[in-house]
C-alpha cells in the first residue's frame, strides 16, 4: 500500500519563523502594512501572527502607562512573545511604535541570542502626514490639549538609524509597502 499524497496545504506549509517589527509614528501605516503582508504570507502557507500594539496593551500590558519605563516594559513583553513565536516557526508581524532605540535593540539582541530571525522595518511616514491620517484621533486630541505624551509630537521618537528596511508609506500603496517587506523576507530566505 502506498502512503497518501500530502495535501496541498501541507506541501505549502513553511516553518521558518521570523519577527518583522514595524516601527514608526502613530498613524504611519504600520498595522495596515502588517495585515496586508500577513494575508500574502498566509496565502503562501506561512504561519503568521500579527501582534497589534493596541491589543497587546489591552491583554498583556494592561496597567502599563506611557512613561519611558512602561513603554520599555511593553516593548520587552511584545519582544519576548514575538521571539517565542519566531523560534516556533511563526512569522510574528509586530506593528508597534517602540519609540526608544535601546528598547528595540534589546529585542533584537534577544532574538539574536535565541537564534530567531529579526527584521526591523521603519515606516518613516512624516508626522505631518500621520496627523492628517489620524486614524485614532490622537493628533486632534493632542492639538486640543486633551492628550499629552503623543509619540513624535510632545514625546520622543528615536528613528532607527540603520533599519533593515525603510518605507515611506506616503509615496506608495499599502500593497507596494507590503511587497517591499515581502521582498526583503524572500531575499533573506524567510519567505
Tell me what the mean pLDDT of segment 71-94 comes to: 97
Crossing angle between the packed helical segments 68-87 and 101-114, to the nearest 10 degrees: 20
> 27-36 pLDDT, tens per residue?
999 999 999 9
Average pLDDT over all residues of the chain: 91
Tell me what the mean pLDDT of segment 109-124 comes to: 96
The DSSP letter of residue 46 is B
Crossing angle between the packed helical segments 30-43 and 174-187, to the nearest 10 degrees: 60
Judged by DSSP in three states, 113 sits in helix
16 falls in which pLDDT band (50, 70, 90)?
A: confident
The whole-model pTM stands at 0.90
The per-residue pLDDT for 186 is 97
DSSP H helices in the chain: 8-12, 30-43, 53-59, 68-87, 101-114, 127-133, 138-143, 174-187
Amino acid at each position: 500500500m502506498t502512503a497518501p499524497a500530502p495535501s496541498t496545504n501541507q506541501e505549502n506549509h513553511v516553518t521558518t519563523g521570523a519577527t518583522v517589527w514595524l516601527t514608526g509614528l502613530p498613524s504611519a501605516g504600520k498595522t495596515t502594512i502588517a495585515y496586508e503582508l500577513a494575508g500574502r504570507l498566509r496565502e503562501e502557507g506561512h504561519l503568521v501572527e500579527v501582534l497589534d500594539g493596541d491589543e497587546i496593551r489591552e491583554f498583556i500590558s494592561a496597567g502599563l502607562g506611557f512613561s519611558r519605563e512602561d513603554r520599555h516594559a511593553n516593548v520587552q513583553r511584545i519582544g519576548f512573545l514575538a521571539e517565542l513565536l519566531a523560534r516556533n516557526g511563526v512569522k510574528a508581524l509586530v506593528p508597534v511604535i517602540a519609540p526608544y532605540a535601546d528598547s528595540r535593540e534589546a529585542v533584537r539582541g534577544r532574538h539574536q541570542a535565541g537564534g530567531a530571525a529579526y527584521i526591523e522595518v521603519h515606516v518613516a511616514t512624516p508626522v505631518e502626514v500621520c496627523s492628517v491620517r489620524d486614524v485614532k484621533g490622537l493628533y486632534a486630541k493632542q492639538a486640543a490639549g486633551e492628550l499629552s505624551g503623543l509619540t513624535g509630537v510632545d514625546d520622543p521618537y528615536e528613528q532607527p538609524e540603520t533599519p533593515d528596511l525603510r518605507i515611506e508609506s506616503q509615496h506608495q500603496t499599502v500593497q507596494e509597502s507590503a511587497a517591499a517587506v515581502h521582498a526583503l523576507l524572500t531575499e533573506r530566505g524567510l519567505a
